[in-house]
Structure 1
Amino acid sequence: MYAKIGVVGLGYVGLTLAAALARKGYQVYGVDTSPAVRDALDQGRVHIFEPGIEEVFADTVGRSVFVGTSLPAEVDVAVISVSTPVDDRTRQPDLTNLAAAAEQVARWCGPETLVVVRSTVPVGTSRRVVLPPLLAAWGRAKLVMAPERTIQGQALRELVELPQVVGGLDEESRRAGTEFFAGLATQVVPVSSLEAAELVKLSNNCHTDLIYSFGNELALIAERHGLDPLEVIGAANLDYPRPDLSRPGYVGGGCLSKDPYIMIDSAGGEPGPFLVGAARRLNEYLPVHVANRVVELLRQTRGGTVGRTLAVLGWAYKGWPPTDDMRGTPIATMMPVFRAAGLTVVGHDPMVPAEVIHRYGGEPTSIDKAFGEADAVLVINDHPDYRAIPLDTVLTGGHRPALVYDSWRILDEAAITAAGIRYAGIGYLPMPRPGTTVPAQQMEPVQPFDGAEPAGGGGSSTPAGSRVGA
């Protein structure tokens, strides 16, 4: 029944869906407002990194995938996958793109077209924002909400293997949406309404944010008491028949950095939500806390920070699965702290172009130079290249950093400290071995997180706008 599919919005969500549909043999018509995106895709070049996507577009553009500025009237399905950003200042969802896309679909298509909302939205938005222009133009509509829930780096596989949740305006819509997604995924989960499907997406991502925030809370408490958070978490989890505790770490990405605010908007005010906002504040605080720790430790090991060089390894928001996505990256909120301390920041990331590192205030460097020339090294993400750093090679030169702050604890601590280098990680500030430059009595106590906005900026100040998460 469904052969021609329109996708409005070719960002990460729309592009991966278009590629997955093309692989299944559908004719796909993609629309994007950016001329640069359209021109690149017309030539088979994609503007995001996601395994398998480039090959699909190189093979299908002009044959079964067509990119333009409008949808043909005869598409069977029109999927709206435009961005729904959160305002950096007010934290309110901006639904301008969604409203514009709904108006466009209403002009381009007709009442027989199944309209699918794929964007992440506050509960009630599909009915309140998308439906009215369709009814005004057509008098009736088939409308479903089917949230995207993939993880970057595995999108093409997960679009097929993950259950696709479908909520409909009515039974006819839900039946049509279920039939459409059955042609893509191995399992479809119909739910009772548009609103139920909207809340499913928010629930998944906010729960992930909450889980990670507890690991980060434990790390801050462990740091306060001079304990190793990984030891505590590992012992707590071992053969214990309750939900595992998460390791501490940064929480970013396009979804986890904004969906909690969409959930808060959906809650509609007092009372609550009680947990979602607190978890997000803590996860946004962590990069600033780490930045302040790095500055403090460097001051202690080098006697000051002004004019010192900090090498930052890992600028994308996560390292595994690899991505070049800078949305919600920790470096965005760390850089003001480093600038205030007078540090020169050099950077490396296997996935992030040099011009992006420049844009965020860093000077591109190599791994060898990071260890061979900088005063301190901060490892932000866990890309496989960093796990494989040959410490026996990079630490054998005449110059060595005074500090390695290994956020994910992926490097060999013993090899680093044996070279006379101070080693630390999130929530982990062990005393240096004898022979290093920092006496134990110089360590300053760590102030506990009190829920206040941290110095240096605790908000998510990304230029665009998870560890893991959809």
Structure 2
Amino acid sequence: MVTEELPELRRVGIIGMGYVGLTLTAAMADKGYQVHGVDTQPAVLDSLSQGRPHIFEPGIEDVFGEWTGRRIFVSNELPEGGVDAAIICVSTPVNEAGHEPYLGNLAAAAEHIAKVCGPETLVVVRSTVPVGATRAVVLPRLLDAWGSARVVMAPERTIQGQALRELVELPQVVGGLDEESLRLGLALFGGLSAQLVPVSTLETAELVKLTNNCHTDVIYSFGNEVARYTESLGLDPLEVIRATNLDYPRPDIAKPGYVGGGCLSKDPYILISGADRANYPLPLIRAARQVNEELPVHVADRLVELIGDTEGKTVFVLGWAYKGWPPTDDMRGTPIAAMTPAFEAAGLTVLGHDPLVGAEVIRRYGGEPVDLAAGFAAADAVLVITDHPQYRALDVDSLLPGSNVTLVYDSWRVLDGSRVTGHGVRYAGLGYEPAEAGR
């Protein structure tokens, strides 16, 4: 029996230099691939061409600094002559009105590949898409241009702050249009990851990514549901959850917290959109998303109520990225976006701090950037939104004395509550509002 030798796929194009494309570019360059990154934004191209990533992710800057101009090349289009594999990593956002996914970027990427490359190129969809989109949006554009195509779907499943490690350690799921496409896809990602998971169809691979993220959204929503209930009962959700989980041989209950980011804030809607067309409404996933989206609005309303008379008052918000651990500067799905309207309606002045988010971004979201000392000195209330390590290490014994702070709302309970109340300051958190301390 003669086994057909697979072509070596070492010259790779990655279309879309957002988080998914950027991290994949770095990981593949580090593994010896020649990577041609494509983006349409001049500022992104200018920064990357100088070896300076425009997105924070541990390890990325070092890789780009080492390989830009040697293994990493960036441009507004794929190189002349095409590439061995073209990987689509463009954004697939959902609109605010109906939460329907926008697939125009996906279509444009497929059209660009069809123009520059040929049927010998392996086309990989890495973007998160509704089930069926690879076959319905990407494939027809390739077939119209080439007559035949090699196509796989290989979803990205990393977490911010650990992407470079997870890209080589996590199993890479690959679904192919046909057997030849699948073999090529496995060969491509076999040079990146030690573990491959071939699946039977493009649609199976598409649903894997959506299932991962929607399951996470549901898990987090349950912890948030518990916290909303303990708030009404006057109980401590962390005490309830710790006792629930301790040495109990069932799945752990998640700690309550905000759920945002580029994936969890939109992927449920991408799944729902496809399910609606299949006439199944996904009631659990819809409900989970509603619980998680309502949480920051609820916290903002509670903060206003706990402050009381808000006239002339100032709130100091710590944490503007959507999460603090692993640290990120990503503002997609950030809780502060949903909170700001309540603060504005109450007439509160908002000060802001984040170890990674720039001053201009804080201003864009309605806050005035300050350092920690100035924020505590000027504030009447402090709202800790993320569990960034810098906030876990806050010395409240030096920041609270002499301030006008009467309330610290510590969403993730990263501070020592007894130290806060020891200064006569009320301490609260998600689902946790003990009686006010006398001051």
Which bin holds the TM-score, normalised by the shorter protein? over 0.9
Deviations 1:117-137 (A, max 9, x none): 000000000000000011111
Q: Which residue of 1 aligns with 2:369?
A: 364
Cα distance, 1:157–1:70 mapped onto 2, change above 3 Å: same
Q: Which residue of 1 aligns with 2:422?
A: 418
Listed as ranges, the matches of 1:65-104 within 5 Å are 65-72=72-79, 73-104=81-112
1:292 aligns to 2:297 (yes or no): no
1:47 aligns to 2:57 (yes or no): no
Listed as ranges, the matches of 1:96-175 within 5 Å are 96-175=104-183
**CA deviation after TM superposition for structure 1 residue 76, in Å:** 0.6
Could you tell which deviates more after superposition, 284-293 or 367-376?
A: 367-376
Q: TM-score, normalised by structure 1?
A: 0.91
Aligned-partner Cα distance in 2 for 1:381–1:286: 14
Deviations 1:173-212 (A, max 9, x none): 0111011100000101000000000000000000000000
Equivalent position amino acid for 2:197 in 1: V
% identical aligned pairs: 67
Deviations 1:238-283 (A, max 9, x none): 1111100001000000000000000101112544211111100110
3-state SS of paired residue (1:268)? helix
Instruction: Decide which of 341, 349, 364 is 2:346's aligned counterpart.
Output: 341
Aligned-partner Cα distance in 2 for 1:361–1:69: 33
Aligned-partner Cα distance in 2 for 1:74–1:85: 27
3-state SS of paired residue (1:254)? helix
Deviations 1:100-128 (A, max 9, x none): 10011000101110000000000000000
3-state SS of paired residue (1:255)? helix
Aligned-partner Cα distance in 2 for 1:74–1:91: 35
Listed as ranges, the matches of 1:270-309 within 5 Å are 270-299=279-308, 304-309=309-314
Q: Give the root-mean-square deviation of aligned CA atoms.
A: 0.8
Listed as ranges, the matches of 1:180-195 within 5 Å are 180-195=188-203
3-state SS of paired residue (1:21)? helix
Higher relative contact order (CA 8 A, sep 6+): 1
Deviations 1:374-418 (A, max 9, x none): 00000000100000011121123x223000000000001001101
Q: Which residue of 2 aligns with 1:219?
A: 227
Could you tell which deviates more after superposition, 287-296 or 59-68?
A: 59-68
Q: Which residue of 2 aligns with 1:34?
A: 41
Q: Which residue of 1 aligns with 2:184?
A: 176
Aligned-partner Cα distance in 2 for 1:287–1:181: 39
Equivalent position amino acid for 1:13 in 2: V
Instruction: Decide which of 318, 323, 329 is 1:324's aligned counterpart.
Output: 329
- Residue-pair matches, total: 430
Aligned-partner Cα distance in 2 for 1:71–1:80: 12
Q: TM-score, normalised by structure 2?
A: 0.97
Equivalent position amino acid for 1:364 in 2: P
**CA deviation after TM superposition for structure 1 residue 366, in Å:** 1.4
1:200 aligns to 2:208 (yes or no): yes
Q: Which residue of 1 aligns with 2:408?
A: 404
Deviations 1:139-171 (A, max 9, x none): 111000000000001100000000000000011
Deviations 1:220-251 (A, max 9, x none): 00001001000111111111111000010000
Cα distance, 1:336–1:250 mapped onto 2, change above 3 Å: same
Q: Which residue of 1 aligns with 2:30?
A: 23
**CA deviation after TM superposition for structure 1 residue 432, in Å:** 2.1
**CA deviation after TM superposition for structure 1 residue 370, in Å:** 2.2
Equivalent position amino acid for 2:387 in 1: D
Listed as ranges, the matches of 1:433-452 within 5 Å are 433=437, 435-436=438-439
Equivalent position amino acid for 2:108 in 1: A
Equivalent position amino acid for 1:432 in 2: E
Instruction: Decide which of 388, 399, 402 is 1:394's aligned counterpart.
Output: 399
Aligned-partner Cα distance in 2 for 1:74–1:64: 16
Query: Where do 4+ consecutive residues of structure 1 move more than 4 Å?
Result: none
